[in-house]
Amino acid sequence: MEFAFTQEQEMIRDTAASFLAQVSDSAAVRAAMATETGYDPALWSRICTQMYWQAIHVPEAYGGMGLGYVEVVAMMEQMGKHLLCSPFFSTVCMGVNALLIAANDEQKAQWLPTICEGNTTATLAFNGGVNRWDTTAVTATWRKEGDNIVLNGSYRYVIDGHTADLLIVAARQEGESSDIALFVLPAQTPGVTRAWLPTMDQARRQASIALQEVTVETAAMLSGADSGNAALTRIVDLAAIALAAEQVGGSQQMLDATVAYTSERVQFNRTIASYQAVKHKAADMMLQVEVARSAVYYAACVAQEALSGSTLGAELPEAASVAKSYCSDAYFAVAGDALQLFGGVGFTWEYDVHLYFKRAKSSEHMLGNGAYHRERLAAMLLD
């Protein structure tokens, strides 16, 4: 048992941290926010060609770096801290995961290398527009028609859905209520329409996608070992863990910023950091950040085990719900406390606090909020 980053993992994390400190400062984030794309394509290209992050946990056989989910999580934590605007989460933590879990070898060989080369972004669309994040959220349908498959339906809350090159979409067979399958298709496939959904959190883009009689070859149906329902569940759990890691990074940044600001800010001739009310709030923030981090690191290990097929991977649903529920609540609480302790300036557009405060809410609701995941855990425990 060893529950700390290896030296190599620490190096990867530190490299990411210093790179992001350079390329994702407040000005860069605000510039990206102002575009419809939501990120700077030049920066993404630099990430793909210099840092190779898009390939981080793709097996070497498919052109990837062959690292694990612990490394993905370490990266996401840093991205959360620096609010990086990029299609990393959608491409790597949804698209690549979907292919790793649900695709057969041929499909992996077809799509993963193109992602690793940095030419292709990807995302996952499954939620038909409801406040649920499991297989019951899928409302789109598919049917066989000769040698082809025809897809119909719509999706909301699709991360980077309007810009991704490759879509992995979930649909249930027409007439069959329960069976879900996943399909991979280029976003430019005829019949696909996509629209940006502008969001309160401007540092990550959501979109709606509609499929109208979209015709794809049978080979577009992902057909790995798992059933479509099982695969989708695992893909969502892996994405939730990555998102929880981002939440930890954001929480840490809010704590750090709060300690720094309150140590400068003077009221009644004292730094406000010297007031016990401020200290104790900061202590509660630190508690939440550290507890959240413990949850995420454990979940990262479980995710890694799940991806490598180990028995410990069976804990994935629990670990994902533990991490996502705790981190969602912690990030929102910590960001809210930060805003409060910054006082008036925290309320301005000019200071960065509101960017994190908004990210806290958007990531809380994305893939299920605290109450949602707690009810999921309650069902595991009690029913």
Partner 1 sequence: MKLSFSAEDEQFRQEVASWLRDNLSGEFEKLKGRGGPGDEHSFPQERKVWEQKLAQGKWTCVGWPQAYGGRGCSIEQQVIFFEEYARARAPGRMGHIGEGLTGPTLIAYGTQAQRDKYLPGILDGTQFWCQGYSEPGAGSDLANVKTRAAFDQASGKWRINGQKVWTSLAHESDYCFVIARTDPGSVGHKGLGFFLVEMDQPGIQVRPIEQITGTSEFNEVFFDDAECSSEDIVGEPGEGWKVAMGLLGFERGVSTLGQQMLFQNEFDEVVRLARSNGAASDPVIRQRIARAHTELKIMRYNSMRMLSGQSTGDGSLQKEALIYKLFWATWHRSLGELAMDVMGPECEILDAPPYALNRLQSMYLFVRADTIYGGTNQIQRNIIAERGLGMPKEPRGTL
Report 271-300 residues binding a copy of itself (CB under 8 A): 275-277, 280
What SS3 state is found at 374?
helix
Q: How far is the CB of 183 from partner 1 (least distance, A)?
A: 23
Select the residue interacting with partner 1 from 109, 283, 308, 314 (CB under 8 A). Answer: 283
Q: Which of residues 2-21 bind partner 1 (CB under 8 A)?
A: 2-6, 9
Select the residue interacting with partner 1 from 46, 143, 194, 365 (CB under 8 A). Answer: 365
Nearest CB to partner 1, comparing residues 186 and 313: 313
Q: Which of residues 112-131 bind partner 1 (CB under 8 A)?
A: 127, 131
Strands 206-217 and 180-186: what pairing?
unpaired
Nearest CB to partner 1, comparing residues 66 and 343: 343
Spatial neighbors of 265 by CB under 8 A, at least 6 apart, are: 271, 272, 273, 343
The angle, 0 to 180 degrees and rounded to 10, between the axes of the packed helices 316-342 and 370-382 is 150
Q: How many CA atoms lie within 13 A of 196 on its CB side?
A: 11
Nearest CB to partner 1, comparing residues 108 and 162: 162
Q: Tell me the two tokens of residue 98.
A: 């979907």
Q: How far is the CB of 16 from partner 1 (least distance, A)?
A: 17
Residue 195 touches which member of a copy of itself, partner 1, none, C-beta under 5-8 Å by kind:
none
Residues touching a copy of itself, count (CB under 8 A): 4
Q: Rounded distance, CA 353 to CA 342, Å?
A: 8
Residue 32 touches which member of partner 1, a copy of itself, none, C-beta under 5-8 Å by kind:
none
Residue 147 touches which member of a copy of itself, partner 1, none, C-beta under 5-8 Å by kind:
none
Q: Rounded distance, CA 166 to CA 14, Å?
A: 30
> Is 193 in contact with 127 (CB distance < 8 Å)?
no
Q: What type of residue is 335?
A: A
Q: Rounded distance, CA 42 to CA 58, Å?
A: 23
Q: Which of residues 241-260 bind partner 1 (CB under 8 A)?
A: 255, 259
